[in-house]
């Protein structure tokens, strides 16, 4: 049997003793006026709605909905309303790994490639050392690389897994804590490979069914079909509540795809409060439970402040943040996805759990409500968390405006070096995906698989990107990405780059060949031998539809049609073949266009 570390065992015993000796609490008195405080927070932040559940030991002692789950339909939030819980899903995924270890199917302290050979990292040092424990506690050295899955989604987890080997780290393994959604997606793939079932099937079988989470699900399609789906919203121009489209997480689901109500999530929290058991049945393995809520990695210094001297330390377990909240050990995780924000927390030594789910994008409401309730239940001195957050928000906004004005004064704009049509094309990066730049009338646009952006010229070959949504006008006051096009030695556009991760160089997307349709019969006229300075280059067709070129002493090159009578060499950037025709439409010459010059060959 694996020996439990003394410190972890002490925490476990302390919790058990605290539960046994816990006196009865008059919760009714402590909840007095809470409804007013929550409604005030909704009003302050222009939030559509929020649902709250509070548990004590093995019972739900408070469950209430506030505001609207559907503003246009005037439908209220109730304790049974379903919200996207975002990264609150991570504790579920990590627990699947804990259950697999209990079954002897893996060891979280061995390199993950022993159970998932398909997972490759950026270098051999990472391949040889990264374990599931590292992945479960965000200590692989990889930054978020979130743009990869958010703007370049796919339904295939295997293809998403392949991107990881192209994603650069910012630190050595276990050197620093860095949040990474890809590592939880990969945990989901591990569970799938070892169980023979999808992540979605595992979550339902291992948690939803035994925990009586009857309405919880893992897809947007199921959310939309449920009896009480919440609509997601954002705040537009500081006061307008605007509907957002649901985000289909697809392949990244293990990192944050669960949808649930506070009623169902209450059972999940009850299980954690009761040492991994629900109604007397073990759901979370005992050894895993203890490690999951114990410090595996330091997140930050987490020092107490003058304003909050009793809120300190910031560590991470397995899918859980850990801190000390006014002398009470707190386990918590937030969640954010388009239109939704969430917080799931519990105090193991106090047998108290709090779930707050909101249908507002990037909202402060869940953490504010969580802290307001925590202070009441733990009998702490009142602190105006709502007012404090609003002051911090207003200050940050004012500072941002000052910085924006300063940037406008110092930034000069120079004309672009090329016509916008020259920037059009397909740009790819192995760790991310493909961006297509295209021209509509006199404007340049960029598209990823799920987003379209208007590209506003900034200076030289640099452009700012603003989302071009079908449901709303382009908002140039919103945050934006900036991309810079790079030129090759011949002055042609060969790539674009953008700063997506602090601590890393800009991510480069290389321009590829945008293939144009061509009739197979038309290819035949290009076939033949071409004389060039005593050398004969051959052009021929393979598979009945693909044109190839061969020059003695070089490998054969596949040609891609890019324009009328013009082909690019698939594996060489900046190399093209242009066929010249006479008035009768017969090929007479072949022009080799290369970075070091152009060379004309006569057809024999």
Query: pLDDT of 267-307, one tens digit each?
Result: 999 999 999 999 999 999 999 999 999 999 999 999 999 98
Any idea of the CA torsion for 99, 102, 108, 112, to the nearest 10 degrees? -70
- Rounded to 5 degrees, φ, ψ at 352 are -120, 135
- Rounded to 5 degrees, φ, ψ at 541 are -115, 140
- Rounded to 5 degrees, φ, ψ at 301 are -60, -40
Q: What percentage of the chain exceeds 70 in pLDDT?
A: 95
527 C-beta neighbours (distance < 10 Å), count: 14
**How far, in whole angstroms, is CA 294 from its chain's centroid?**
25
Quickly list H helices, 171-316: 181-195, 199-203, 220-225, 262-273, 286-292
SS3 375: helix
Local structure of residue 87 (DSSP, 8 states): G
CA 469 – CA 454 distance, rounded (Å): 10
CA 15 – CA 293 distance, rounded (Å): 12
Using pLDDT thresholds of 50, 70 and 90, give the confidence band for residue 407. low
Which bin fits 206, alpha (ψ -120 to 50), beta or left (φ > 0)? alpha
Helix-then-strand count for the chain, H and E: 17, 31
* Tokens, residue 590: 């072949």
* CB neighbour list of residue 64: distance below 8 Å, 6 or more residues apart: 35, 38, 51, 52, 79
User: Tokens 């978020």 map to which residue?
Assistant: 144
- Residue 207 scores a pLDDT above 90: yes
Mean pLDDT lowest among 169-178, 247-256, 410-419: 410-419
When pLDDT is averaged across residues 19-28 and rounded to a whole number, the result is 59
8 Å CB contact between 470 and 444: no
- Rounded to 5 degrees, φ, ψ at 334 are -95, 175
Residue 345 β-bridge partners: 332, 354
User: How many angstroms separate the Cα of 507 from the Cα of each of 28, 281, 427?
Assistant: 55, 49, 12
User: Tokens 């021929």 map to which residue?
Assistant: 540
Query: pLDDT of 27-70, one tens digit each?
Result: 788 999 999 999 999 999 999 999 999 999 999 999 999 999 99
8 Å CB contact between 300 and 312: no
Query: pLDDT of 353-406, one tens digit each?
Result: 999 999 999 999 999 999 999 999 999 999 999 999 999 999 999 998 888 777
pLDDT at 473: 73
307 C-beta neighbours (distance < 10 Å), count: 8
Mean pLDDT lowest among 44-58, 340-354, 409-423, 455-469: 409-423
8 Å CB contact between 164 and 321: no
When pLDDT is averaged across residues 255-260 and rounded to a whole number, the result is 98
520 C-beta neighbours (distance < 10 Å), count: 10
Of 287, 278, 252, 226, residue with least CA distance to 70: 226
Using pLDDT thresholds of 50, 70 and 90, give the confidence band for residue 158. very high
8 Å CB contact between 343 and 355: yes
When pLDDT is averaged across residues 452-475 and rounded to a whole number, the result is 89
- Residue 18 scores a pLDDT above 60: no
SS3 70: strand
Q: Which position has the higher pLDDT, 13 or 67?
A: 67
Strand-strand pairing, 557-563 and 546-550: antiparallel
- Residue 148 scores a pLDDT above 90: yes
171 C-beta neighbours (distance < 10 Å), count: 15
pLDDT at 410: 59
pLDDT at 571: 87
- Residue 479 scores a pLDDT above 80: no
Mean pLDDT lowest among 341-345, 497-501, 542-546: 542-546
* Tokens, residue 24: 């009865």
SS3 439: strand
Query: pLDDT of 99-132, one tens digit each?
Result: 999 999 999 999 999 999 999 999 999 999 999 9
pLDDT at 25: 67
Q: What is the pTM of this model?
A: 0.88
Mean pLDDT lowest among 70-84, 175-189, 467-481: 467-481
pLDDT at 408: 60
Radius of gyration of the chain (CA): 29
* Tokens, residue 445: 């646009």
Tell whether the torsion through CA atoms of 188, 192, 198 and 202 is positive or negative: negative
CA 245 – CA 220 distance, rounded (Å): 11
* Tokens, residue 559: 């040609």
CA 202 – CA 209 distance, rounded (Å): 10
| Half-sphere exposure in the Cβ direction for 319 (13 Å, CA) | 28
pLDDT at 534: 86
When pLDDT is averaged across residues 228-254 and rounded to a whole number, the result is 96
CA 425 – CA 437 distance, rounded (Å): 5
Using pLDDT thresholds of 50, 70 and 90, give the confidence band for residue 409. low
- Rounded to 5 degrees, φ, ψ at 561 are -65, 125
Residue 452 β-bridge partners: 447
- Residue 8 scores a pLDDT above 90: no
SS3 69: strand
**Whole-number average pLDDT of the chain:** 93
Tell whether the torsion through CA atoms of 435, 439, 440 and 444 is positive or negative: positive
- Element at 390 (helix H, strand E): helix 385-410
pLDDT at 137: 98
User: How many angstroms separate the Cα of 262 from the Cα of each of 213, 214, 320, 513?
Assistant: 10, 12, 18, 50
| Half-sphere exposure in the Cβ direction for 141 (13 Å, CA) | 18
Q: What domains can be seen in the chain, in order of their start residue? A: 6-315+327-395 (3.40.710.10), 420-511 (2.40.128.600), 520-603 (2.40.128.50)
């Amino acid at each position: 049997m694996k020996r439990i570390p003394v410190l972890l065992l002490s925490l476990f015993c302390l919790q058990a003793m605290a539960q046994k000796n816990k006196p009865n609490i008059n919760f009714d008195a402590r909840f007095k006026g809470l409804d007013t405080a929550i409604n005030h927070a909704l009003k302050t932040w222009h939030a559509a709605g929020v649902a709250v559940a509070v548990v004590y030991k093995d019972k739900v002692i408070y469950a209430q909905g506030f505001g609207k789950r559907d503003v246009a339909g005037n439908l209220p939030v109730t304790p049974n309303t379903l919200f996207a819980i975002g990264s609150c899903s991570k504790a579920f995924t990590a627990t699947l790994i804990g259950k697999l270890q209990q079954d002897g199917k893996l060891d979280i302290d061995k390199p993950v490639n022993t159970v998932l050979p398909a997972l490759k990292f950026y270098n051999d040092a990472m391949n040889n050392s990264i374990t599931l424990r590292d992945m479960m506690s965000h200590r692989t050295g990889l930054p978020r690389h979130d743009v990869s899955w958010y703007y370049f989604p796919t339904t295939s987890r295997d293809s998403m897994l392949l991107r990881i080997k192209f994603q650069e780290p910012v630190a050595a393994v276990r050197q620093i804590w860095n949040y990474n959604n890809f590592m939880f997606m990969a945990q989901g793939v591990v569970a799938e490979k070892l169980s023979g079932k999808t992540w979605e099937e595992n979550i339902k079988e291992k948690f939803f069914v035994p925990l009586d989470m009857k309405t919880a699900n893992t897809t947007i399609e199921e959310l939309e079909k449920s009896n009480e789906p919440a609509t997601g919203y954002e705040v537009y121009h500081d006061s307008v509540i605007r509907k957002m489209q649901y985000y289909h997480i697809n392949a990244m689901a293990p990192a944050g795809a669960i949808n649930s109500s506070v009623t169902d999530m209450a059972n999940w929290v009850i299980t954690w409060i009761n040492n991994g058991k629900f109604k007397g049945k073990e759901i979370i393995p005992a050894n895993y439970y203890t490690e999951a809520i114990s410090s595996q990695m330091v997140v930050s210094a987490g020092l107490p402040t003058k304003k909050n001297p009793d809120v300190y330390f910031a560590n991470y377990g397995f899918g859980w943040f850990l801190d000390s909240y006014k002398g009470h050990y707190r386990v918590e995780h937030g969640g954010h996805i388009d239109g939704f924000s969430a917080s799931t927390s519990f105090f193991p030594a106090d047998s108290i759990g709090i779930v707050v789910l909101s249908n507002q994008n990037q909202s402060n409401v869940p953490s504010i409500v969580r802290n307001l309730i925590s202070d009441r239940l733990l009998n702490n001195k009142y602190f105006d968390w709502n007012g404090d957050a609003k002051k911090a928000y207003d200050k940050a906004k004012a500072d941002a405006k000052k910085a924006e004005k300063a940037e406008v004064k110092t930034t000069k704009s120079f004309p672009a070096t090329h016509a916008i049509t020259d920037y059009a094309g397909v740009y790819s990066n192995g760790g991310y995906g493909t961006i297509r730049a295209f021209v509509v009338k006199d404007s340049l646009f960029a598209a990823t698989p799920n987003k379209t952006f208007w590209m506003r010229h900034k200076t030289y070959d640099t452009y700012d990107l603003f989302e071009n949504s079908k449901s709303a006008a382009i908002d140039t006051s919103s945050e934006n990405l900036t991309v810079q096009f790079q030129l090759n030695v011949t002055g042609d556009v060969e790539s674009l780059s953008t700063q997506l991760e602090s601590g890393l160089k800009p991510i480069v997307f290389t321009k590829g060949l945008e293939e144009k349709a061509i009739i197979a019969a038309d290819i035949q006229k290009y076939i033949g031998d071409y004389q060039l300075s005593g050398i004969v280059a051959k052009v021929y067709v393979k598979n009945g539809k693909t044109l190839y070129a061969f020059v003695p002493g070089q490998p054969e090159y596949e040609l891609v049609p890019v324009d009328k009578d013009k082909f690019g060499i698939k594996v060489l950037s900046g190399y093209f073949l242009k066929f010249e025709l006479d008035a009768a439409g017969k090929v007479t010459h072949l022009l080799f266009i290369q970075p070091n010059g152009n060379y004309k060959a006569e057809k024999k």
